[in-house]
Chains A and B, each alone.
Chain A
């Protein structure tokens, strides 16, 4: 059941306007969501070139299917559901490619596929991975990383994360719980090698 226009979030209204032919609405939507979407894709696939391709793919699908858009929920859930599907397709293709690759191609696969125009940003992004938190984020299982990114980048609730990722609410909650538990450990100061614990003297 469609929600009345008054109760829609601002972005959903913009998407409806874009569906009906207002290209200016698309520019606003793009400006609002390009950063979160790009970071979601970049930190999910951890490859600047692949993230750029997926980024364009997501917006292309949104443009191509705008005529069928129905404002059922928050616009971010619609956009990131497309992004989720794109990343799922990417990981399937990647897994298939790795399974069919010859052993000689192992080195080639481990290198990032970065287009020429993307290289400076790719270098910056890989340098960013030196951060302890982002390194821990990259080490998370993909589903847990996705739950954390969806909440941090878009402010989606547990229910909305579940809708975007096509899982139950409890599953989404469990993924996010495990994610933050592991990530919080990265915030703890690293122990200094060789340091002795402080001794307290009781008088």
Chain B
């Protein structure tokens, strides 16, 4: 003999088994999982459709701004870049090429340089120092003399070149 079938009673609902099951804890998905799942439809089309009316003016303004920026970059971009690029080139020219071809720059650099490579010939340098002495510019003459000695420590300087008459 089959045992009494509880299925019909159970399917009618409100059985002791169902009541007990509903009294058990009912775990829910953690919030992190909610966020992951709810990101699925929003990432596809949902949010974009809802926000379109609000974003349309912003999108138009952004397009205009980008277009203007693009035109400016095309028209003025190369010139601006050239100016930026020219600046160091001019500096380089002044530092190297022009100092070799421009006598005035060349003279000034070599006059005050203590680097033997760029220094003038000792006799010319001493002549300039003597000229400073004659002009009464003794401080400049003394400074140049110290540089001269650091550059040519073993070169003998004439007393007349460094001690103008009338000075102690």
Contacts and interface: CB of A to CB of B under 8 A. Distances in A.
A125 interface: yes
A60 B33 CA distance: 12
**Interface residues of B toward A: which range?**
35 or more
A53 to B, nearest CB: 10
B123 interface: no
Contacts of B6: 177, 180-181, 184
Given A23-B41, A59-B37, A176-B7, A187 B29 contact: no
B92 interface: no
Contact of B33 (A56, A63, A134, A183): A56
Grouping DSSP codes into helix (H, G, I), strand (E, B) and loop, the B interface class, with mixed when no group exceeds half, is helix
B47 interface: yes
A177 B9 CA distance: 11
Contacts of B30: 52, 117-118, 120-121
B145 to A, nearest CB: 78
Interface residues of A, number: 41
Interface string B29-50: 1101110111011101111011
20 contacts: A23-B41, A23-B49, A27-B38, A30-B38, A34-B29, A38-B27, A52-B30, A52-B33, A55-B29, A55-B33, A63-B44, A117-B32, A118-B33, A128-B25, A133-B17, A151-B11, A152-B18, A158-B11, A177-B6, A181-B3
Interface of A: 18, 21-24, 26-27, 30, 34-35, 38-39, 42, 52, 55-56, 59-60, 63, 117-118, 120-121, 124-125, 128, 131, 133-134, 151-152, 157-158, 173, 176-177, 180-181, 183-184, 187
